[in-house]
Amino acid sequence: MSIRKLALVTGSTSGIGLEVARVLAANGLNLVLHGLEDTAAGEKLAEEFEQAYGRRPLYCQADLSQPEQIDQLMQTIEDKAGSPTILVNNAGIQHTSPTESFPANMWDKVIAINLSAAFHTSRLALPGMQAQGWGRIINISSVHGLVASVNKSAYCAAKHGLVGFTKVMALENAAQGITANCICPGWVDTPLLVEQFKAYAQDNNTSFEEAKQGLISAKTPYPDFVAPSEIGEMALFLCSDAARAINGTALPIDGGWTAQ
């Protein structure tokens, strides 16, 4: 049986998810784009992809903090495009605050979007991968799935949780041609970091651009951001047959952050 490769990338209307989607599309994969944007904005992006890569992706809107919307998302994909055999759980949010003042509702939201959503999409995608005897689950964790930083209790809990969850899926599905891995990026210049740049600039009385450099040098020996497309290339490699034995790992792409 030939394997039908269809990739769902969650949160693929901006930042890392968008570049992962671009790299997969540029390498001939069929895609499902997902985001919070309405159908008109999603279709505009799908049109752009069609013009750039010669295939029109399906676009689906869903709020991944709501499990019933995830059920609906996965059913819509099944009905319109078939089961995804590549699942990139990328959607995520950040909130920073000391633990004692961390708003309880933000804790719940960070865990729901960054961790529980990956459980729900995976549990719904796995039967299709098992039926095909091939699958790739790629969870975008973080260096904060491996080490901690202050003020990121919910984010670190979610990203560490994602690493553990990924290992379990890897063990459960290793004999069925399915791999599950985490990619653990360091600093990537995306909308997710804007509030942290602003806070750093204010606390240190620097410009927004100086704040970016300040945050980089506080954590990584390599003096630059990781490019979103570099994460896309790593995801592409994990989708290849050469990566069939890479399973249950948490792969840093972090400019040396976690080597210290």
Provide the binding-site residues for ligand NAD, judged by CB under 6 A: 11, 13-17, 35-36, 63-65, 90-93, 113-114, 140, 142, 185, 187-188, 190-193
Give the shortest CB-124-to-ligand NAD separation in angstroms.
15
Q: Are 10 and 34 a contacting pair, CB within 8 Å? A: yes
- Please say which residue, 18 or 29, places its beta carbon nearer to ligand NAD: 18
| Strand blocks (E) in 14-123 | 30-35, 58-61, 86-89
- Please say which residue, 86 or 140, places its beta carbon nearer to ligand NAD: 140
Give the shortest CB-241-to-ligand NAD separation in angstroms.
26
Other C-beta atoms within 10 Å of 193: how many? 18
- Please say which residue, 92 or 232, places its beta carbon nearer to ligand NAD: 92
Give the shortest CB-189-to-ligand NAD separation in angstroms.
7
Give the shortest CB-210-to-ligand NAD separation in angstroms.
18
Which of 53, 59, 155, 200 is the catalytic position? 155
- Please say which residue, 96 or 176, places its beta carbon nearer to ligand NAD: 96
The verdict on whether 155 is a catalytic residue reads yes
DSSP 188: B
Summary count for the chain: helices (H), strands (E):
9, 7
- Specify burial of residue 230 (Cβ count, 10 A radius: 0-12, 13-18, 19+): middle
Q: Are 11 and 33 a contacting pair, CB within 8 Å? A: no
Sign of CA dihedral 254, 192, 17, 122: positive
Whole-number Å distance between alpha carbons of 232 and 212: 22
Beta-bridged to residue 91, according to DSSP, are none
> Any idea which residues carry the catalytic annotation?
155
